[in-house]
Structure 1
Amino acid sequence: MRTIGEVSAAFRLKPHVLRYWEQQFPMLQPLKRSGGRRLYRADDIAMVETIDRLVNQEGYTLKGAAKAISAGNVDNTAPAASAIPRGTTMAIPETAAEVAPAVRPGGPGPEVTQQLRAIRDRLAAALN
């Protein structure tokens, strides 16, 4: 079990964001102790991780993320945050060759993916 402070630090979110997500996502229900103190179980942490990925990485709206989760259209194969040691950072690919193709059913076609990669590469070159 983790406190709201530990979970917010692990995901680099403010505690008020987690409390707001509890209102928007009925499936996120941490235990509440006396005084309203929240304790997040492993399932709750996995749900926070999924919501964070959908909203902050994949660009879903909160409503869209809630619909995707309740419809079961979400891939929950990422490791749970509790399994990742604190201080661990993830490598971010710098070139299109390092990125695995991200084609989902109903997602953008290969030509759109190629165009987006070309744009990303031009932006990366402009920053260097």
Structure 2
Amino acid sequence: MAVVSDKAAGAFRTIGELSREAGIPQHILRYWETRFPQLRPLQRAGRRRYYRPEDVALVLRISGLLEQEGYTIRGVQKLLSAEGKRASGGPGNSGGGADTRTVKAVRDILVKALRDDRP
């Protein structure tokens, strides 16, 4: 059961605040940091953790996948890893898509314009 916070949506959360808001014990959050490389909160002096809004969203997603969807830790690891590879242009996204063609077309137009502009 999630608790609503009085902090702004974009504010950083401490591990205690995130634990209360998400209903996830602190020791589980620390464990997830060892299992999911995508979950890397900022750590200040004294190793105090500060979770960014994207970290909070990831924690809630991991929790949902584990508790509601029935994934295992390994299953969530594979899912997040595969999504990261797709988003970063890894295997399966080898370029040559519509975005790449558009950029190349714009580049060609600019090259032609620069050639035509020479005295």
Q: Percent identity?
A: 51
Q: Deviations along 1:52-86, whole A, 9 cap, x unmatched?
A: 0101111100010111111129xxxxxxxxxxxxx
Q: Which has the higher helix share?
A: 2
Opposite residue 44 of structure 1, the aligned amino acid is D
- What residue in structure 2 maps to residue 64 of structure 1? 75
What amino acid sits opposite 1:55 in the alignment? L
Query: Equivalent residue for 1:9?
Result: 20
**How far off its partner does 1:5 sit?**
0.5
Whole-angstrom CA distance in 2 between matches of 1:46 and 1:5: 16
* Alpha-carbon distance, 1:11 to partner: 1.0
Pick the structure with greater CA Rg.
2
**Taking structure 1 as the reference length, what is the TM-score of the superposition?**
0.55
Instruction: State the TM-score, normalizing by the size of structure 2.
Output: 0.59
Measured in 1, the distance between the counterparts of 2:32 and 2:64 equals 13
Please say if 1:27 is aligned against 2:4: no
Structure 2 spans left out of the alignment, 5+ residues: 1-11, 85-119
Q: In 2, Cα distance between the equivalents of 1:59 and 1:9? A: 22
- Which residues of 2 match residues 83-102 of structure 1 at below 5 A? none
5+ residue gaps, structure 1? 74-128
How many angstroms apart in 2 are the aligned matches of 1:72 and 1:34?
Answer: 32
The corresponding residue for 2:60 is 49
